[in-house]
Amino acid sequence: MCYVRGQKRDFDAWQDAVDGEGGWSYESMWRAFIEQEKNDTFHNEHHGVDGTLAVQMPKGINELNQYCLKAFQEFGLPYNPDYNGATQIGVSPVQSNIENKRRCSAVVAHLRRHLDSGRVSLLTNTTVTRVIFENDQAVGVEVSNGSAKRSISAKQVVLSAGAVHSPKILMHSGIGPKKHLEDFGINVRVDSPGVGDNLHDHPIIPLSAYVTGNLGYQKVAQGLGTIKAGVQYILTKDGPASGNGIETVSYWDPLNLEGEPTVQCYHVPIISQDGLTPTGSRAGITFELVVLQPKSRGWVRLASSDPTEMPLINPNFIGHEFDLKVAVESVKSMRDVMAQKSLAPVIDEEVSPGPAVQTDEQIAEWVKRIATTMWHPVGTCRMGNDAGAVVDAHLRVRGVSNLRVIDASIMPNITSGNTNAPTQALALHAAKLLVADHFSRRTLEVDRLPSHPRSRLSHREYTGVARPVKLLASEDHRDGRYRRTDREGHRDSSIVQPWAVASGRTR
């Protein structure tokens, strides 16, 4: 639920990938963020207040995180009250999608009001197995509820199954690497070698330490403490359970503190092996070091011709020397922060990697062993104009008609921070492109479209939807049971549909 837009260079790289088409520049995406946002703190040119996606600052910062704020400033980072403002550089309070002490998910912000309108049908326990074509035109999808299959017709088919399942559906529909499809006996409709490639994610390196006393949320996050926090929340809508649980964050380049950040670090006031789950009863802190612009690339491939079987995933974390260099330098920087006068007195003992790991080589080996997913997979149906691109600047699947992909899989490169907010902004921008194409059947300037459904156009004119639409939700997707390769499988947080953005597993 952390609200992070990213950096200007992220979106300008998207625009470059499509040679300036489609309006994917930072300026265009900035307008999408502003339109969606309902910020309760910042009322300036960097933020929106009239949208439906609530954003708020923490209502309080625990003592341990206050020490972190001071220590990072002593280390040399500026205090930055708003990393979604003029610059990302600095140490900051975390901005979260919370309103009235509850998470403001994409379901709450965008979907629920339309479910009540009768214009949208949501099918649960239903899996899309393939896209149905007549010649090279998509005319619907085949779905299964586990016991029976049926077809749903559509004038436009939009896949929003995320960076794992969107390429999987395309491949089962005959769109993907030719030889790979032929190996499973799938008829090749379009030889698209980029489908399933370009998988990348933010690798996380959790550095942890014990702290003195009962600082942080270690006792609150497990056992009886969790029950007490839950009761407090139910009775008063207050206490630790009423917030994000992660209250401060820092962004920096460990090789140049004045440069654009290459590292994100959440200061999690529990001790944890994976950066999320509390380990033991002793109080501690985990610094979630995240490589913001990883160059490593993995892949998604079919495991069989059975569309109900989960795909193979190779995330290839820390597979590029750039990622390893950034990770190693971030660990060294973090140790410098822990040695600052505001934090050193409360750091009792470094747990992971521990005092035995000192040289760059030792740190590198530890990083390669422990790096794991931040649940931000993107890129497997990337947009572009080159032969390896899966979709064009309007997110239309190349080689067929009436089929688009709208989710984080279309990102040519990952954004610098949590992908939840950029994926929602991406979806809004894509919807405007779809509307433009619907009305004109040719490329229009996106800025000519209305900026909000409450404009002078009716809702039907704004959305371009001529009849009720269906959203498909799958238990398999929500459970995130993906096949392992050499590392733990991804749980896909890049999905636009409600089951992903509403899940507590996405961040």
Indicate the annotated binding residues for FAD: 128, 375-376
376 has catalytic annotation: yes
Find residue 314's DSSP bridge partners: 299
Contact 248, 65 (CB under 8 A): yes
Buried b (16+ CB within 10 A) or exposed e, 362-381: ebbebbbebbbbbbbbbbbb
> Positive or negative CA dihedral for 254, 259, 262, 268?
positive
Q: For residue 293, what are the contacts with CB-CB under 8 A and spacing of at least 6?
A: 10, 262, 413, 414, 416
Under 8 Å between Cβ of 369 and 352? no
Contact between 243 and 59 (Cβ < 8 Å) = yes
Cβ–Cβ contacts within 10 Å for residue 201, how many?
Answer: 27
Please tell me the total number of residues recorded for the chain in this structure: 507
Nearest C-alpha neighbor of 394 from the set 113, 386, 385: 385
Euclidean distance between CA atoms 124 and 162, whole angstroms: 17
Residue 169: CA count within 13 A, CB half-sphere: 29
Give CA–CA dist 189/135, Å, rounded: 9
CA angle 225, 98, 49 (to 5 degrees): 160
SS3 content of the chain, % helix, strand, coil (to 5): 30, 20, 50
Point out the catalytic residue in the list 172, 376, 477, 490: 376
Give me the active site residues, please. 376
